[in-house]
Homo-oligomer: A and B are copies of this chain.
């Protein structure tokens, strides 16, 4: 998301009324040369394509409902695996593939459009962070990027991301003040959040950051702060609303009045993960 301009697309999804609820909608284009890691199976490419879109829906606190999938193919043999992967991911998270398009293309290209539903009062957006709120993250950031560093025990995190669909809905109901997924890394996510929450900033406490296991500490911190390819939820929430039942999340900092992103008081670099396998 993001093509339309800020007035429409601050969030991970667009939204509109659907009966008494809010429908959220998002579209993502992935393709072989920049998004699908060499070595991924067709099934994994399909899974990932669905997962990134379901993650956007999760980050709004919505329940995924429908997915449309357009597949451009340089090799028709890929189609079955890609579709099965997308279908399995949708099935796991309660969504249904309702339509699509196929086309010949010069590299595998998958565009997934997801639709989800959420009650108006439970919707989570990027805006709304408030000084004094906690900054939290689900799961352990940096594991997907760790695979690219050669720590191949983390393959599943990069190749078969698990969007936080259940957690997103629980967090929406619990009244998080702001939420997004961290697919570009924690650092860029926090800068994105700061850009739409103009009267606050984020102060991280490095000692609280969950780190990928089995990696030297300094490198692990680098991966956790700047690594991409994760689909965790990063959110802010009033202290009296945390923890949220059935959501495994870690407090990693606080929302400040100062418009800056810091780690242990030092400004965090504004950089993240650049996709490109070529």
State the A residues within 8 Å of B (CB): 1-4, 8-9, 13-14, 16-20, 23, 25-31, 33-34, 65-66, 68-72, 83, 97-107, 109, 111, 113, 115
Contacts and interface: CB of A to CB of B under 8 A. Distances in A.
Contact of A26 (B19, B68, B111, B115): B68
Nearest to A8: B98
Contacts of A2: 100-102
Nearest to A83: B3
A13 B72 contact: no
A270 to B, nearest CB: 20
Contacts of A18: 18-19, 23
Given A109-B109, A111-B27, A4 B102 contact: no
B19 A113 contact: no
B100 A1 contact: yes
A27 B69 contact: yes
9 contacts: A1-B101, A3-B71, A4-B97, A4-B100, A14-B99, A26-B68, A29-B71, A29-B101, A29-B103
Of A19, A20, A72, most buried by chain B (CB within 10 Å of CB) is: A72
Q: So how many copies of this chain end up in the complex?
A: 2
A27 B99 contact: yes
Contacts of A17: 19
Contact of A27 (B9, B23, B101, B105): B101
Contact of A31 (B65, B83, B98, B105): B105
A98 B14 contact: yes
Contacts of A113: 25, 27, 68, 70, 111, 113
A219 B111 CA distance: 39
Nearest to A53: B101
A23 B98 CA distance: 12
Contact of A29 (B1, B26, B72): B72
B29 A98 contact: no
Given A4-B97, A4-B98, A98-B8, A66 B31 contact: no
A29 to B, nearest CB: 4
Q: Which 10 A-B pairs have the closest CB atoms?
A: A19-B19, A3-B100, A14-B98, A14-B99, A111-B111, A113-B113, A29-B70, A27-B68, A18-B18, A29-B103
A71 B9 CA distance: 16
Contacts of A71: 3, 29
Of A23, A105, A113, most buried by chain B (CB within 10 Å of CB) is: A113
A228 B117 CA distance: 38
A25 B115 CA distance: 10
A14 B28 CA distance: 19
